[in-house]
Chains A and B, each alone.
Chain A
Amino acid sequence: MKKILILSIIVIAGLSCKKTYLVETPKDVLAPEDLFVNKAGFEQGLYGLYNQIRQERGGYYQDSKPSNPGYTDPTNDISNGIMMVGTDNAYCNYPGSSNEKYYNQWSTGGPISLVSDDYNSTVFSWLYKVILGANMIIHRADNPAINWTSAEKGQIVGEAKTVRAWAYRHLTFLWGAVPLVLDESSGLNVKTDYVRTPVAQIRNQMEQDLLYADSAMSDQAVVEGRFSKAVADHYLTELYLAEGRYQEAANIANKIISNPMYKLITARYGVNKSSPGSPFTDMFIDGNSNRSQGNTEAIWVIQNAYLSVGGDYNIMRRMWVNRYDQISIGGKNPITVSIANGGRGLGRYAATRYVFQTFSPTVDGRTGSSSADQRGGATGGIYAWRYSWTYGNPVSKLNLNYNTDESINNSQWPNPRKWDWAPPANYPNDVSNSSGYNCQIYLRLAEEYLFLAEAQYYLGDLAGAAQTINVLRARANAPLITAGDISIDFILDERSRELFTEEHRRYTLLRVRDPQNPAVPIWIRRTNAYNKVIANNAPVIANDTLLPLPQSVINANITLPMPQNPGY
């Protein structure tokens, strides 16, 4: 018996396995320790961040949990709606079952419901996820074992820091003081006592990040679709304007403007060159938007591609092109979805009547007609806006009336053409495709001129401001202005004319103080004055300038109460 037992034990013991038997060595799962070991790994981290930035123009919860029922439609709820709609120049034309309805209601139906709203919390989480990704790159780049040149490292860390500043820009404009997180989070160190960092302190960090980028990055982007130094400089300019540091703002804006890499588009170019159009609208045509395609004005262009892995999509067209296929004429819907008509739109958002008025002499204040303005004038702007539709055989024309106040569910309201896109003609089955796959301008040089003019205005150089703005007006074929025309409201009008649907209009109006009441942002006065849907529902108030912190953020901060924004 002894022998047996001994032998048995030997046999069983002999089968003991190596200690590593229970150690996991995943093959399809990537860990930070395996990724951030060389330049290629860091670049993968950066491309993940660019993918996230691109989602600003995609469905807002694309990256969260779509399996969770109750989440709204990814193709109907764009992330950037909250950044530009519900302002002086944009309202929600077709409020769906989704969140757009808030843009027209603000304090009554809007932000209060946003406290526990998915949209509010998802945008918040999305931005902090970008920050986590950026923090990982910034911290792990200090590993001395990585084999790269200091220029390579500087470029990558500079891009990551610019992305981090980009995310904090969104956070501070939308929610105000938010926790400043600069460390890489870990599962062993769950933090539940975050403190709201004052905006000034966050901006100080953003400034440092952007200054680092300015010093470490090259003028030329590594490849199309990645940030160049000018992107960091752009946000630095805006930051200085927001901080009231106008001379520094003017210096940086001038630096970009004087960089020979960037030139305004002043002549017809690119794929649509020989068809009717204007230099201004050429930039927005698919095939023309990238720098390599001739767009010398572009500072950064969002990359998308049709039928390509990683091509993803944007839904700007879906949001901004109106529902022309629902216009009923003689009991029929004769205007059909087509490439020529700009692809299929749902008209969720639209321009307020004010936008069209800025192109008329009465508001523009110009002597001479501004109707030739390529950005929206009644005759010059027909390539920038749909003021009419043609249909049928023989061809009939439907002129859209925009001489009344804007209203909801209006299919006969002009829409911008900056985001027109439909699948190519050789994919006829796909003309109703819900999304767009074109590369789109995200930042362009024109805004630097407007930044400069704003800085000049505050520095008292009204003539300089007029001169700066005239560069843009000359390009757009609009009548020129003089120093006497310059006011902050005029500059904001000009921004709307030039950058409608491009700039984050809400941020601009929150950044600028109201000269009539410097205690509050100009957003309140201008929105109530020009957005009739909001004015008729419920005028916006000071509390509406910030979104409420998502309830989930407050709830998760278990060990330290986190104060909510006022009014919620």
Chain B
Amino acid sequence: MLVKKCLLALAIFISAYSIAQEVKTSVFITGTVMGSDKTPLSGVSVKLKSSAKKVISDADGKFTIIVDSTVQNDSLVFVTDGFEKHKVLYDKLIMNYTITLKETDPDQNEVVEVGYGTQKKKDVTGAISTGPKDQLNASNNNFSEGQKGAVSGVSVTTNSSSAEGNNSSTLVRGRGSILSNTAPLIILDGTIFTGSISDINPNDIENIENLKDASSIAIYGSRGSNGVTIIKTKQGKKGKMIFKYDGSYGVSTYINKPDLMNGNDFYNFKSTRILVDSNAGGQTAVYGATVLTSNEIYNYQHHNSTDWFDLATQHGSRMQQTLSLSGSTEKTRYFFSGSLLSVQGIAKNDQYKRYTLRSNVEYLAVKWLTITSNTQISVNNRDGLPADISGTGTGVVYFNPLTTPYDTTGKLTLYPWDPYKTISPVEPIGNPLSNLLAIRQDNAYRIGSANNVKIDFPFLKGLSYKLNTGVEMEYDFRNTYYGLNTVTGFTNQGKATNYNHVKRNFLVENILNYAHDFGVHSIGVTLMYSSQSNDYNSDSYTGTTFPNDVLTNYQMSSASKLTQTTSYYKQNNLSQLIRLNYGFKGKYLLTVSTRRDGYSAFGDNKKYGIFPSAALGWQITKEHFFEKFKYYKYITNLKLRTSFGITGNQAVSAYSSLANFSTRTYVRIDSASGSTQTPIVENGVLPSKLANPLLGWESQKEFDLGLDIGLLKGRINIGVDYYDKNNYDLLLLRTLPPEMGITSLTQNIGKVENTGIEFTISTINISNKNFTWSTQFNYSNNKNRITELYGNGNDVDLTNLWFKGQPINVNYGYKFDGVLQLNDKNLGFQTGSLPGFVKVKNISGNATVSVNDKTIIGQQDPVYHFGFTNTFKYKNLSLSIFFQGAGGNMKLDNLQTDNTGSQITNNVIKRNWWTPTNPTNEHWSNDYNANPLGVKIYEDASFIRLRDITLSYNFPKSLLSKANINNFRLYITARNLATITKFKGIDPELDVNNATTSDGRGGQWGLPLTKEFTIGVSLTF
């Protein structure tokens, strides 16, 4: 409806301004425009300085312009992107001009995306970090991986390992929300992107800008406070058609794996493990030998040991190919690309395939009307289910090595504990490899298209109108079938789940832009009015108990029990924006903006929010007094920036301000059915949520002070930023008196502060004809703390482990203080503890251990992160070495968790157990009860990692030109070759919060991160 309206409005708009043109007596001037390498340039705009009329050069660089015969003392102006503006004196006598344009100096005129437009980098007043172009290479499945460690203020953490590689979290300038999403807003080609980071082919990306300060992000109002990532995809370049092929192949393997026990180790471990201690209450020691099962003894005696981890993992591989075609004609610029990415993860059956087709076209319809369309079609295939890696009691890292994975015929056993009842009352434990036999088809189809129409008003220079529309649609079909040969299928007599969803997102933006220089004053105005709507609809059917496995997912009609779930949401946004830019002599720069956002999911009393901001820039080098400074010649750029503003986090999801019921279905027996007990299903409901009309966005006040320094003609560039962000009205689940019937209500009550500094430096250390050495370094440090919880004087929330004055994510518990030794004086402190038991640090100073001895043991999010790249180029050979690191945080090393189960059914890693003759403090004794308080081990998770080494070779042009090849690059990359850390788990990056199980498995028990070797080529012709 809205789209229709907008299109209608546009039609009126265009016709209103189609103005007929008049022609007088004239002369014809012709010429050719070319670049410095003598290639003809098409699409160059040519005009007389005094006239508004322009012509555009054709594919051969030729142009013809009609000039009024009376024209005198004028000049011809040549303008095109990527080249410096060129002027020649107009001379009536020259009928055929040959013009050579000089390519622009990237430092001088570099533009950055600032949201709803671009700005020259030198005029920017906000804190904006450009993503690394050279790291969006073939080694990354997605752009987020490519940004890791490379951008100041943007912290990317890989939470878990998978083929798709999309489980990472990005924090811009620290965690600004306690419960809500902290991921930055992504703007793809000018439209809000709602897909997954996997959906964008990194090879299609031209550049990425990360907006960090309030002034930059406030123009995204209620959605800006987590930072904004602006991604622009590649556009056709002026000039002839270029084919480009990128291809790479890589192999991967885990960096580390948990050092689990083999059958022999396990047998010894279990036999000697104490179940009930001999010294406690005069009981006789009971060892694990008493609960050895017949199967364990048999397998031990026959040396049958199973390395479940090995059975579930493999060498991974990664293949990607992109073919693109780009160029321009007189009126059209185009970029087409097709790509294929195919990844096999290190877990068997974990695979990901992505096919993308992109078509970016810009068409200059008439000289004041440009139409642009950027469209991508993609298919994401996630077929197959990997083995259960870290499921509670059922994952391969848990699994007892003295069990039987395959039966005598070579088929997977259903219950490797056969006969499984020997370990009753533990529920029968299924084979963790069972999933490998399940059938899983998962295809997501996605279209994302950003289209806009831009009108440059012919009668007022600098005024333009842009109608920007974005459409995204995603269809996902996911069918899973567990046959009788799987554990799930066996217990359910076959289980099928057919799932599908449709996700849609529509955006319409009207943008009016005016930019003009009036002498020393430059003025820019942006007005924007937009509406966005997105909805989601999913259907899922789960059927169980089928006659046979033959028809897999296509036999729902014969299921004995069929469960259906349907979900739906729709959310709408309405926004208005005004932004003013003012510059005086390029010396004083001012940006002021205000955005008003309305959002459907906000409570009735809070539908609209207003988000203002202001920023100031001062180009000190342009001051007269600066030239009096002794070393001013060495300083090419010195800019001071500051900004302040209010932004929001749209944290509220659809319908969260409304009251709700949850479904509580009830059956009743059909009275007529007698003993057959035919059930009749009655839909029952129960109140589940109270309405909250006051529910609104989370707010953020941010102050930023930054300094940009350029030295030695750009050979050294330094950027420093300090920020202070205060987030308030954070959504927290407030506990209600249970007497209300509902125990919690989401309200805007919490407060958080983040302060930090960011530092970047890039230098060209050596620059010779044959050899260059350049270095980039970035460092960010963020201090995060909760400044207010529930506003009721409660400074501590022990349920969620939130503490006022502390960072949001902290570790909390008893502190490990080594092992209780024989004759340890501390025994009295821990009543009932024996030598060899875990020693708890006495925090309270009290005589006996109590909850008062629990303490905060470091924060979970890294305090700082950094990246360090050195690039060496010798002739055509280039070597780049990239280190990346983060730290200041403590992480749970849950590998040390001693979770064997009461019957000692689960495997654990090898350890240095305490014994009276081995009085170590490293690990407690091999006793089921040795850690009665469940003390956890936290370790410093700071690390530095050699993330990428890339060696590449560009074949010389002289060699290639014979084969009509422009460019041929061959490279090899090695990733994650080395990590230096004190952390003893398998990886300091793996996220413990990612552990889905209640006993803290996952995390270090999850799939390890990988090291990879990739070889690739890049070819243009």
Interface residues of A (CB under 8 A from B): 1, 4, 7-8, 11-12, 14-15, 17, 21-24, 26-32, 35, 43-52, 54, 63-64, 69-71, 94, 121, 124-125, 128-129, 131-133, 135-136, 178-179, 181, 185-188, 190-192, 194, 223-226, 270-271, 286-288, 290-294, 303-305, 307-312, 323, 325-326, 333, 336-337, 346, 427, 429-430, 432, 434, 439, 550, 552-553, 555-558
Contact = CB atoms under 8 A, between A and B. Distances in A.
A429 B493 CA distance: 7
Interface string B881-897: 00000000000000000
Contacts of B566: 28
7 contacts: A4-B459, A44-B684, A69-B1000, A225-B666, A290-B669, A307-B560, A555-B735
Interface stretch (B6-14, B835-843, B949-957): B6-14
Contact of A326 (B424, B491, B668): B424
Contacts of B675: 270-271, 287-288, 293
A299 to B, nearest CB: 16
Interface stretch (B58-66, B652-660, B936-944): B652-660
B17 to A, nearest CB: 8
A14 B9 contact: yes
B2 A429 contact: no
B491 A309 contact: no
A287 B617 CA distance: 82
Given A309-B562, A439-B669, A555-B735, A50 B742 contact: no
Closest 9 CB pairs of A and B: A132-B741, A47-B684, A310-B665, A187-B690, A225-B668, A305-B679, A48-B684, A69-B998, A51-B664
Interface stretch (B260-268, B401-409, B586-594, B598-606): B598-606
A129 B687 contact: yes
B457 interface: yes
Contacts of A434: 427
Contacts of A336: 421
B489 to A, nearest CB: 9
A223 B737 CA distance: 35
A39 B705 CA distance: 64
Contacts of A71: 998
Contact of B745 (A8, A14, A187): A187
Contacts of B659: 31-32, 187
Interface string B570-581: 111010000000
B521 interface: no
B428 A47 contact: no
B739 interface: yes
B929 to A, nearest CB: 13
Contacts of A307: 544-545, 560-561
Interface string B648-692: 000000110111110011111111111111011111111100111
B737 A323 contact: no
A47 B672 contact: no
B687 A8 contact: no
A52 B664 contact: yes
Contacts of A439: 669, 677
A11 B671 contact: no
Contact of B740 (A1, A128, A136): A128
A187 B687 contact: no
Contacts of A310: 665-667, 679, 681-682, 684
B667 A7 contact: no
A185 B687 CA distance: 10
Interface string B334-350: 00000000000000000
A552 B738 contact: yes
Given A21-B598, A288-B675, 17 more contacts: A24-B601, A26-B568, A27-B570, A31-B661, A35-B685, A48-B661, A52-B664, A69-B997, A124-B738, A128-B740, A129-B742, A178-B739, A185-B690, A310-B666, A429-B492, A550-B738, A552-B738
Contacts of B829: none
A556 B736 contact: yes
Contacts of B510: 11-12, 15
Contacts of A191: 737, 739-740
Contacts of A294: 674
Contact of A293 (B655, B664, B674): B674
A94 B902 CA distance: 13
A555 to B, nearest CB: 7
Contacts of B600: 21-24
A190 B665 contact: no
B974 to A, nearest CB: 38
Q: Per DSSP, are chain A's interface residues mostly helix, strand or loop, or mixed?
A: loop
A439 B567 CA distance: 31
Contacts of A135: 741
A185 to B, nearest CB: 4
A133 B691 contact: no
A133 B687 contact: yes
A52 B686 contact: yes
B539 to A, nearest CB: 11
Nearest to A287: B675
B13 A11 contact: yes
B20 to A, nearest CB: 16
A22 B527 CA distance: 22
B928 to A, nearest CB: 12
Given A26-B654, A136-B687, A292-B671, A21 B574 contact: yes
Contacts of A185: 690, 740-742
Contacts of B529: 12, 15
A552 B655 contact: no
B769 interface: no
A52 B688 CA distance: 13
A28 B599 contact: no
Interface in B277-328: none
B371 interface: no
A194 B738 CA distance: 10
Contacts of A30: 660-661, 685
B917 interface: no
**Listed residue (A44, A71, A131, A323) with the most chain B CB atoms within 10 angstroms of its CB:** A44
B814 interface: no
B738 A187 contact: no
A47 B421 contact: no
B559 to A, nearest CB: 9
B737 A7 contact: no
**Listed residue (B566, B666, B667, B999) with the most chain A CB atoms within 10 angstroms of its CB:** B666
B23 interface: no
Interface in B402-457: 421-422, 424-425, 427-428, 457
A552 B659 CA distance: 23
Contacts of A430: 491, 493
B740 A190 contact: yes
Contact of B666 (A15, A50, A270): A50
Contacts of A192: 737
A501 B669 CA distance: 23
A24 B568 CA distance: 12
B668 A223 contact: yes
B740 A132 contact: yes
Contacts of B602: 22
B506 to A, nearest CB: 13
A539 B735 CA distance: 36
A566 to B, nearest CB: 21
Contacts of A49: 684, 686
Interface in B90-131: none
A31 B658 contact: yes
Contacts of B570: 24, 27
Contacts of B568: 26-28
B743 interface: yes
A194 B739 CA distance: 8
A125 B687 contact: no
B661 A181 contact: no
A27 B566 CA distance: 10
A47 B682 contact: yes
Nearest to A72: B998
B35 interface: no
Nearest to B671: A292
